[in-house]
Amino acid sequence: MNKYLPYGKQSIEEDDLKAVQETLKSDWLTTGPKVEQFEKAICDFTGSKFAVAVNSGTAALHSSLFALDIKKGDEVIVPSMTFASTANAVVFQGGTPVFADVNQSDLLINQNKVEEKINESTRAIIAVDYAGHPADYNKLKKIAKNNKLHLIADACHAIGGKFYKKNVGELADLSTFSFHPVKHITTGEGGAITTNNDNYYRRMKFFRNHGITTDHREREKNKSWFYEMIDLGYNYRISDIQCALGISQLKKLSAWIKKRQEIAKQYDAAFKDIQLIKPLLVDSNVSHAYHLYVVRINFSATVIDRATLFKELKKQKIGVNVHYIPVHLHPYYKNNFNTKNGDCPVAEFAYEQIISLPIFPSMSDNDVIRDSTSLIDLLK
């Protein structure tokens, strides 16, 4: 009997279990040494100077916007083809997310549309490395520099990827990551921000700890009880238990990225001569991290609609998904920011066609063959 294949899942191995168990037996379950060790490991992997580990990718996005002092009246340009958190984090800070459309070929933020949205209230651009493909940071950096804007990389899909041989995590003023179980590595729930800016780093460290300047371990080390709250922060702390898992997982990330790329090549080969199925374009100067494997399907030329295809694949234990409903189409944004259908036509049209197929390191060749064959057969 075929096993169920979700679109993404964690890989937990014996070394991960051992790392967590050792931390559970230690004196520090939170605000302890594993947090700093995990942050150092992230810096070593990405090449960035600083990293701040937090308890989710959403917290990472929020922290990065706090670091930039985004506030009421400020506008931040975001792509509509992303998860809601990218825009929500702007709203958390009192800012206004301004939705830019995406490229048809790769669903990354369209630089021309970004330039069209810039005005005197624009403070920052958030680029999303959709599916694991880094955005065009050469062009985005130029736009940001010419307009005196900050650039954030929402790299929650893309840790381990590269752009012109530079690591994701060192391509923007701040880069954010997610360690949810469906991502490349997991801490259960978790996230991080990387930056080379000392001021941003310090602001995010106290922001994750209620706006307080020191944490418990630092006060223990200094034999002091004194602390000050200098800003309104949040409890975005990540535990040592989670970081122990993250450290163990990070050691295997390069091998897991390679496996994801191999699976993507298998899918590409399977769909090469199928006119109805089009994988997203990959830039030759990019090393794709493949958090997702997304295809576009021309349903106007098929005998089956997407909802039926989705259900049929699920019946065959193939856990497809759709990433994403364009954020500007969600009722919250329509009701509170006056967004509407037609604002981002490329993203809206793509949404009607896209499906994400399973991709994770423990998939076998037969799993990939089953996924691709089932999809092709249902479209005949």
Tokens 């930039």 -> residue:
68
**Token representation of residue 203:** 């602001």
Q: What is the dihedral of CA 93, 95, 100, 106, to 10 degrees?
A: -10
Contact 270, 37 (CB under 8 A): no
Phi and psi (nearest 5°) for 374? Answer: -65, -45
The SS3 of residue 216 is: helix
**Token representation of residue 320:** 């497809």
Radius of gyration of the chain (CA): 21
What count of Cα atoms within 13 Å lies in the side-chain half-sphere of residue 66? 24
DSSP, residue by residue, 96-149? EEEEE-B-TTT-PBPHHHHHHH--TTEEEEEEE-GGG----HHHHHHHHHHTT-
- Nearest by Cα to 367 from 79, 94, 9, 126: 9
Q: What is the dihedral of CA 352, 331, 358, 152, to 10 degrees?
A: 100
Q: Is residue 252 among the annotated active site residues? A: no
Element (H, E) at 279: strand 277-279
**Token representation of residue 318:** 């193939």
- Continuous H helices in 316-364: 331-337, 345-351
The SS3 of residue 51 is: strand
Tokens 């949205």 -> residue:
117
DSSP type of residue 26: S
DSSP type of residue 189: S
Give the residues across from 96 on adjacent strands. 75
Q: Which of 162, 183, 205, 259 is catalytic?
A: 183
Enzyme catalytic residues: 183
